[in-house]
A = this chain, B = another copy of it.
Amino acid sequence: MMMDSDLTPMLSPKSVAVIGASPEAGSVGGLVLNYLIKFGYQGKIYPVNPKYGDLQGIRCYPSIKEIPEAADTVLVSIAAKYVIPAIQDCAARGIKTAIIATAGFAELGGEGKKLQEELHQVIRQQGMRVCGPNCNGIVNFYENATLCFSRFMEGDKIHQGNIGFITQSGAMGGSFIDRCQDRNMGFTYYLAPGNEVDVDVVDFMSFLVEDENTKVITAYVEQIRDAQKFLQVARRAVEKEKPIIILKVGVTQAGAKAAASHTGALAGSHRVYEAAFRQNGVISVEDFDHLLATAKLFSKSKLPRGNRVGVLSSSGGGSIMLADRCEKYGLEMPSLSDKTKEELGKLLPSFATIENPMDLTWGAFRGGPEAEQKMFKIFADDENLDIIVFMMTMVAGERARGRAISMVATAAHVDKPCVTWWAAGNLAGPGFRILDESSNILFKSPDRCVKALKAMLDYARFRNQHIGLQNVDQKITVRTGDRSRAQELLRGKAGLTEHQAKLILDCYEIPRVREAVAQSARQAAQIAEDLGYPVAMKISSPQIIHKTEAGGVRLNLTKKTEVKDTYRELLRRGESYNPDALIEGVLIQEMVNGGVEIIIGMSKDPTFGPTIMLGLGGIFVEILKDVSLRVLPVTQKDAEEMIREIKGYEVLKGARGKPKMDLKAITDILLKVSALSMDLGDSISEIDLNPVIILPEGRGAKVVDAMIVRRTDPTSES
C-alpha cells in the first residue's frame, strides 16, 4: 500500500490550481472556481486559462508552468487530448497531485482506454498521485477545499461533520450528499475517484481511517480492484473503531451486467463481497436510504451495550410496528425493572399502564415539559434497557418543538443510544430540526430505524469478538499440513483422480473414508474384505472426472462375488465411456451409515481470490442455494459462523429429536481446507468435497468424495 500521507496535498491543499478555469457559470472550471470562492477556501487559488487575465477578481495564468509556486494540487478540466501534456507540465512545475475531472478515458473503451493507459504510465513515471479521470472531484469540508463540480454545493452552505464519503459514481454520490445535508448530516470529505487510474476507493478509505475528524466511513462501491489492500484497510478500521459502511451495487445478475458495462471491468460475485464484508466487520447496506440511516446513527451515537430496546410511544399502532421490526431484526423488547415500575408508578396517574413498550396516549404530554422529562428519564435509566426508541406521531409546529426538546433532554442525560421514529410529515418540521441538531437520532421509518440499530449491534458484536480474539491470541487457529508432500502429489499434468485428491487431503489430516484402488477383481475382493461390507466401488481414471455420469459408481455391495463382478463391469463401462481413458483400476471404499451430508468447496473469486463454501447436501444446496462463504484464510470464529449462517444449521444442531451432529468436525475440516488452499493456492484452482458425511457429536466426519482441480488442468477456469 502506498503511504497515505502522499494524499495529504490533494486532500488538504494549501494551494490549488484550476486548469480550465472559466467564467462560464455552468462549466466545470467555472463551477469549481465559484464554489472555492463562495465557501471561502483559505488557501491560494491559481486559475489557469490562456484566454483570461483574471477570473472573479483572481489573477489567471496562461499556463500551469507560470504559476508562482508548486501548488499542492491541481484540478484539471480540459479536453481529454490535452490532459496528458497538462499533467506533464504539472510534474515539471513540481506539483505532486492532481484531480482530473475530464471524461473520455477508459469509460469509453477503445481509444479512451488506451489514453488512460498512457496517462497511467505518465503519472507512474512522475511519481504523482492522481484522482480520476472522469470524476466530479473531492471536497474537504473542514477547509472548504471544494475541488468538485457536483451541484450539491448549489446551496448556501456545506455541512461539516464526522462522516467521510467515497463514491465510485459522482452522480449518485453528489445526490446522496444533498439528501444527507437536508437532514443536517455533516461530512469530513466527499471523494469521487472516477476511473481510478491511480488513487482508488480503497486508498481513500485508508486515508479516512487515519483522518482525525472522520468517525464514520461510508462508500458507494461498484467494484474493489485490490481486495488484499481492502481487507488490510478494513482490519485497520476495526482497530481504530471506525465503522466502514458500504453500499455495494451490482447485486443480481442483471445488475452485475450493467456494472460491467459501466466500469469496463468485471464485478466480483456479490455474495463473495458480502462474505468478505461480514468477515471483516464492514457494514453492508442495501440502498441509499439505509446508507443514510446507518451513517446517521453511527455518526451521532455511541455503540449500545446490548440489544434490549425500550420504547416510549405516542401510538399503540406505532408500538406494534416497532415490535414487528425488533422481532424481524433480532432485537429484544424486555419488561421494565421493578424499580422503574415503582418510580413511574409514583409519578403517573393510575390509568397509565407502565410497561415496555410504554404507551403515552393516556395524556403523557399534558403535564408539561418538566413532567415529561422526568418520566422519560426514569424510563431511559432502566437497567434492563440498552437502547431507547421514541415513537412520535402527528404533532405540528410549536408542539412538535416542545416534544423534541423533552426527547433531546433525555438523550443528553443517558449513556445509551436514543433514537426517534417520527411518523408525521413536514408539519412536525420544527421538531425534526431540534432532533437533527441533537444527539437524539431522527428516523422517518421504523424499518430504517431498527435496521440501522441492528447494523450497529452487529458491528459492536464483531468488534467485541475481535478484541477478545486479539487478547487470547486465538487468531492462531490455522491448521498446518505436510505441504511439500502435497506439492509432490500435485505434480503432473493429467487430472487428479478421486483417490489422488484424498491423498492430498491426507497431508492435512482431513478425515476421509477408508479406501484403496484395486487393479484386479481378486484384489478388489481382498480390499472389500479388509474394509468390511458394505462397500462402494468407483472407476478410477484421471480422464474420467464425472464418474457417475460415466456409469462408473456402484454403492452398497455386500458380497465378494458382487465385488468381483462389479470390478469387471466398471472396467467395461469406463472403457466404453472413454476408450482413450487411462484406467488405473477401481476404487473400493467403505460405506458410512447415518450422519448428514454436507458440501465443502474452495474456488477462486476474480476479486477476492480463494474462497471457501459450506452447504448441506441435497435440496439445501441444489434448490435453496443455501451456502455460506468466506474469503480465505478463515479463523475458527469464521468457520463457526459459517456453520450457524446456513439454514441447514437447524438440521446439524439436531432438529426434532434427531441427534446433534459433530460441529467441531466441520470447523476442523474448514480450517484444514483453508490451510491447504493457502499453502497450495498457486497450484489448485478448485476443491470440491461432496459429500462429506458428518456424524453425530463426538464421532467426527468423513470426506466421501473429493475432487481437486489443478490450476494448470485443462478443465480449470482460473
Which of B182, B258, B623, B650 lies in contact with A651, CB distance below 8 A? B623
Q: How far is the CA of A469 from the CA of B430 in the complex (A)?
A: 54
Binding stretch for chain B, among A121-129, A391-399, A408-416, A515-523: A391-399
Whether B317 lies near A151 (C-beta < 8 A) is no
Q: Which residue of the partner chain B has the closest CB to A259?
A: B320
Whether A252 lies near B323 (C-beta < 8 A) is yes
Q: Which residue of the partner chain B has the closest CB to A251?
A: B324
Whether A445 lies near B288 (C-beta < 8 A) is yes
In whole Å, how far is A649's beta carbon from the nearest beta carbon of chain B? 9
Whether A315 lies near B250 (C-beta < 8 A) is no
Whether A327 lies near B171 (C-beta < 8 A) is no
Whether B651 lies near A427 (C-beta < 8 A) is no
Which of B174, B319, B321, B361 lies in contact with A287, CB distance below 8 A? B321
Assuming the contacts A323-B254, A326-B254, A393-B171, asked whether A182 and B425 have C-beta atoms less than 8 A apart, the reply is yes
Q: How far is the CA of A623 from the CA of B650 in the complex (A)?
A: 7
Q: How far is the CA of A393 from the CA of B326 in the complex (A)?
A: 33
Q: Which residue of the partner chain B has the closest CB to A650?
A: B623
Assuming the contacts A182-B426, A447-B289, A619-B619, asked whether A321 and B255 have C-beta atoms less than 8 A apart, the reply is yes
Whether A262 lies near B317 (C-beta < 8 A) is yes
Whether B424 lies near A655 (C-beta < 8 A) is no
Q: Which residue of the partner chain B has the closest CB to A392?
A: B175
Whether A172 lies near B326 (C-beta < 8 A) is no
Whether B174 lies near A327 (C-beta < 8 A) is no
Q: How far is the CA of A333 from the CA of B257 in the complex (A)?
A: 12
Q: How far is the CA of A428 from the CA of B220 in the complex (A)?
A: 21
Interface residues in A421-456 by Cβ distance below 8 A to B read 423-428, 444-447
Whether B318 lies near A179 (C-beta < 8 A) is no
Q: Which residue of the partner chain B has the closest CB to A289?
A: B445
* A150 / chain B contacts, CB cutoff of 8 Å: 394
Interface residues in A315-345 by Cβ distance below 8 A to B read 315-321, 323-324, 326-328, 333
In whole Å, how far is A587's beta carbon from the nearest beta carbon of chain B? 24
Assuming the contacts A351-B108, A393-B171, asked whether A176 and B423 have C-beta atoms less than 8 A apart, the reply is yes
Whether B393 lies near A172 (C-beta < 8 A) is yes
* A541 / chain B contacts, CB cutoff of 8 Å: none
* A462 / chain B contacts, CB cutoff of 8 Å: none
- Would you call A498 an interface residue if the criterion is a C-beta within 8 Å of the partner chain's C-beta atoms? no
Q: How far is the CA of A168 from the CA of B220 in the complex (A)?
A: 40
| Chain A interfacial residues counted at CB < 8 A | 82
* A394 / chain B contacts, CB cutoff of 8 Å: 150-152, 171, 174-175, 178
In whole Å, how far is A255's beta carbon from the nearest beta carbon of chain B? 4
Which of B154, B314, B424, B623 lies in contact with A179, CB distance below 8 A? B424
Q: How far is the CA of A445 from the CA of B399 in the complex (A)?
A: 30
CB 8 Å contact bits of A643-670 with B (1 = contact, 0 = none): 0000100110001100000000000000
- Would you call A253 an interface residue if the criterion is a C-beta within 8 Å of the partner chain's C-beta atoms? yes
CB 8 Å contact bits of A609-624 with B (1 = contact, 0 = none): 0000000000110111
CB 8 Å contact bits of A576-601 with B (1 = contact, 0 = none): 00000000000000000000000000
Q: How far is the CA of A37 from the CA of B174 in the complex (A)?
A: 45
* A88 / chain B contacts, CB cutoff of 8 Å: none
- Would you call A180 an interface residue if the criterion is a C-beta within 8 Å of the partner chain's C-beta atoms? yes
Whether B252 lies near A395 (C-beta < 8 A) is no
Assuming the contacts A220-B317, A254-B327, A259-B320, asked whether A393 and B174 have C-beta atoms less than 8 A apart, the reply is yes
Q: How far is the CA of A357 from the CA of B259 in the complex (A)?
A: 12
Q: How far is the CA of A288 from the CA of B393 in the complex (A)?
A: 13
Which of B254, B257, B287 lies in contact with A446, CB distance below 8 A? B287
CB 8 Å contact bits of A172-194 with B (1 = contact, 0 = none): 10111111111000000000000
Q: How far is the CA of A393 from the CA of B178 in the complex (A)?
A: 10
In whole Å, how far is A309's beta carbon from the nearest beta carbon of chain B? 11
Interface residues in A18-57 by Cβ distance below 8 A to B read none
- Would you call A714 an interface residue if the criterion is a C-beta within 8 Å of the partner chain's C-beta atoms? no
Q: How far is the CA of A395 from the CA of B425 in the complex (A)?
A: 24
- Would you call A118 an interface residue if the criterion is a C-beta within 8 Å of the partner chain's C-beta atoms? no
Which of B172, B176, B253, B323 lies in contact with A255, CB distance below 8 A? B323
Whether A316 lies near B152 (C-beta < 8 A) is no
* A175 / chain B contacts, CB cutoff of 8 Å: 393-394, 423-425
Q: Which residue of the partner chain B has the closest CB to A321?
A: B249
* A317 / chain B contacts, CB cutoff of 8 Å: 168-169, 171-172, 220, 222, 249, 262
In whole Å, how far is A353's beta carbon from the nearest beta carbon of chain B? 8
Whether A324 lies near B656 (C-beta < 8 A) is no
- Would you call A492 an interface residue if the criterion is a C-beta within 8 Å of the partner chain's C-beta atoms? no
Q: Which residue of the partner chain B has the closest CB to A154?
A: B396
In whole Å, how far is A576's beta carbon from the nearest beta carbon of chain B? 21
Whether B425 lies near A324 (C-beta < 8 A) is no
Q: Which residue of the partner chain B has the closest CB to A255?
A: B324
Assuming the contacts A327-B253, A445-B289, asked whether A178 and B425 have C-beta atoms less than 8 A apart, the reply is yes
Q: How far is the CA of A172 from the CA of B392 in the complex (A)?
A: 9
- Would you call A155 an interface residue if the criterion is a C-beta within 8 Å of the partner chain's C-beta atoms? yes
* A624 / chain B contacts, CB cutoff of 8 Å: 624, 647
* A155 / chain B contacts, CB cutoff of 8 Å: 396, 427
Which of B154, B169, B333, B359 lies in contact with A315, CB distance below 8 A? B169
- Would you call A286 an interface residue if the criterion is a C-beta within 8 Å of the partner chain's C-beta atoms? yes
Whether A320 lies near B171 (C-beta < 8 A) is no
Assuming the contacts A394-B150, A396-B154, asked whether A171 and B314 have C-beta atoms less than 8 A apart, the reply is yes
In whole Å, how far is A87's beta carbon from the nearest beta carbon of chain B? 23
Q: How far is the CA of A685 from the CA of B43 in the complex (A)?
A: 81
Q: How far is the CA of A12 from the CA of B93 in the complex (A)?
A: 80
Q: Which residue of the partner chain B has the closest CB to A181?
A: B425
Q: Which residue of the partner chain B has the closest CB to A247?
A: B321
Q: Which residue of the partner chain B has the closest CB to A333?
A: B254
In whole Å, how far is A579's beta carbon from the nearest beta carbon of chain B? 25
* A180 / chain B contacts, CB cutoff of 8 Å: 425
Q: Which residue of the partner chain B has the closest CB to A357?
A: B258
Q: How far is the CA of A175 from the CA of B400 in the complex (A)?
A: 12
Q: How far is the CA of A251 from the CA of B220 in the complex (A)?
A: 32
* A651 / chain B contacts, CB cutoff of 8 Å: 619, 623
In whole Å, how far is A248's beta carbon from the nearest beta carbon of chain B? 10
A-B contact pairs, 6 of them (CB 8 A): A171-B318, A178-B424, A178-B426, A179-B425, A255-B320, A262-B316
Given contact pairs A151-B427, A179-B424, a sample of 6 additional A-B residue pairs in the complex whose CB atoms are under 8 Å apart: A152-B427, A177-B425, A255-B324, A261-B316, A287-B321, A619-B651
Which A residues lie at the B interface, using CB under 8 A? 108, 150-152, 154-155, 168-169, 171-172, 174-182, 220, 222, 249-255, 257-259, 261-263, 286-289, 314-321, 323-324, 326-328, 333, 351, 357, 359, 361, 393-397, 399, 423-428, 444-447, 619-620, 622-624, 647, 650-651, 655-656
